[in-house]
Structure 1
Amino acid sequence: MCQALIKIKKAAQKDISALSKLLLALLENKNIQVYQDNVAKFGIPEDYVKNAFAEETLLKAAATGKTTFHIALDGDKIAGFAQVTLQDDYIAELERIIVFPQYVRQGVGTQLLHKAIIDQKQKGTKTLIANAGKDEAHARRFYEKNGFTQISETLIDAPWGKKLTLVTYQLHINR
């Protein structure tokens, strides 16, 4: 599972369908780190998560033309993904980067981020925004290590009814 074996590509419809199936299967195991870090920590209801990663939801997001999925492949296995959505002509949001357990700490997240940045530069995006929960130390270090700067910290009402302190980062990619 060496970093050199990982290929990053823009996800096609069949890739997004496979990604949804993998995410939903992974999230059935509530003891794994990806579930603990991305769901349990925030008290997100199971139905909300299942809907967010449902094949129909992901395909609908991609069909808008504003959302791009990049997947990391180890051969034919999905190692992780990044989801980026254009907010306007100049700003895009890195909605999520998820690296699957057996590929963590092997540079896959960084490769996904770099591919997303290249793609957004080609689209003329000037700023990439990313959000992390205040308590998500690993995610926050990842963004800071990759040149993002913190621009705000906001207490929000999450869609599932909890209060959440969100830290927003930005990265200027085209000046």
Structure 2
Amino acid sequence: MTSIVLRKAVSADLQTLQQIGKETFYETFSKHNSEAEMQKYLAESFASEKILKELNTPESQFFIAWEDESPVGYLKVNSEKAQTELQDGTAIEIERIYVKSSHQGKKVGQLLFDKALEIARQQNKKYIWLGVWEENKKAVNFYTKNGFTEFAKHIFRLGNDEQTDLMMKKVLE
């Protein structure tokens, strides 16, 4: 495998973020949800206006993982009021680490996580937190391996389906 390079995303990367987001979310969750609910979620969650707003939020940062000229994953982190739930000024949230299935197991997720860790340390944060679907065992194991522990649960709605996300955090030294 050639080397993976991380680049900070800008507004011009909108379509790349949409494509990776839709593809990876569908790959991961379509077998557990109806096609109609998946298509509705993808259309709403990755709409141009929504992603552009996120890209232009100063407290949010996106980084795209590139293999040569191909995007293979991305990271979205939030601080301060951009955080989806806790909005704790001493923390940073990993809202998304999305890696194409073709590149899972090739350390792309680890590179993206390490970037989030670097940002948290640069900003002198006390911890990193995230929500992950309890049935996504691969992701739960990845975060556990990286020092995260469960501290709460919350409901994630995909259409009419209520799913349980584990809230996990990693305390930084």
TM range (shorter): 0.7 to 0.9
The alpha-carbon distance between structure 1 residues 22 and 36, as it changes in their structure 2 partners (threshold 3 A), is closer
Partner of 1:127: 127
Within 5 A, what are the aligned runs for 1:10-89?
A: 10-24=8-22, 26=23, 35-43=26-34, 44-86=37-79, 87-89=87-89
Partner of 2:140: 140
The alpha-carbon distance between structure 1 residues 81 and 157, as it changes in their structure 2 partners (threshold 3 A), is closer
State the distance in 2 between where 1:40 and 1:140 align. Answer: 18
Once the two structures are TM-superposed, the CA of residue 36 in structure 1 deviates from its matched residue by 4.0
Letter in 1 for 2:29: N
The alpha-carbon distance between structure 1 residues 42 and 165, as it changes in their structure 2 partners (threshold 3 A), is farther
**TM-score computed with the length of structure 2 as normaliser:** 0.83
Spell out structure 1 runs of 4+ moving beyond 3 A: 21-24, 42-45
> Which structure 1 residue ranges, 5 or more long, are not aligned?
28-33
Once the two structures are TM-superposed, the CA of residue 74 in structure 1 deviates from its matched residue by 0.6
Quick check: 142-151 or 119-128, which moved more? 119-128
Contact 1:21 1:55 in 2 (8 A): no
Once the two structures are TM-superposed, the CA of residue 21 in structure 1 deviates from its matched residue by 3.8
The alpha-carbon distance between structure 1 residues 157 and 111, as it changes in their structure 2 partners (threshold 3 A), is closer
Once the two structures are TM-superposed, the CA of residue 157 in structure 1 deviates from its matched residue by 5.7
Aligned-partner SS, 2:125: coil
State the distance in 1 between where 2:27 and 2:101 align. Answer: 12
**TM-score computed with the length of structure 1 as normaliser:** 0.82
Partner of 2:83: none
> Which structure 2 residue ranges, 5 or more long, are not aligned?
80-86
Letter in 2 for 1:10: K
Once the two structures are TM-superposed, the CA of residue 119 in structure 1 deviates from its matched residue by 1.3
Q: Deviations over 1:22-77 (max 9, x none)?
A: 444x37xxxxxx52423442554412212211232112012121211111111121
Partner of 2:160: 161
Letter in 2 for 1:149: T
The alpha-carbon distance between structure 1 residues 146 and 106, as it changes in their structure 2 partners (threshold 3 A), is same
State the distance in 1 between where 2:68 and 2:74 align. Answer: 15
Determine what percentage of the aligned residue pairs are the same residue.
Answer: 26
Q: Does 1:111 align with 2:147?
A: no
Partner of 2:94: 94
The alpha-carbon distance between structure 1 residues 107 and 39, as it changes in their structure 2 partners (threshold 3 A), is same
The alpha-carbon distance between structure 1 residues 159 and 144, as it changes in their structure 2 partners (threshold 3 A), is same
The alpha-carbon distance between structure 1 residues 74 and 120, as it changes in their structure 2 partners (threshold 3 A), is same
Letter in 2 for 1:108: V
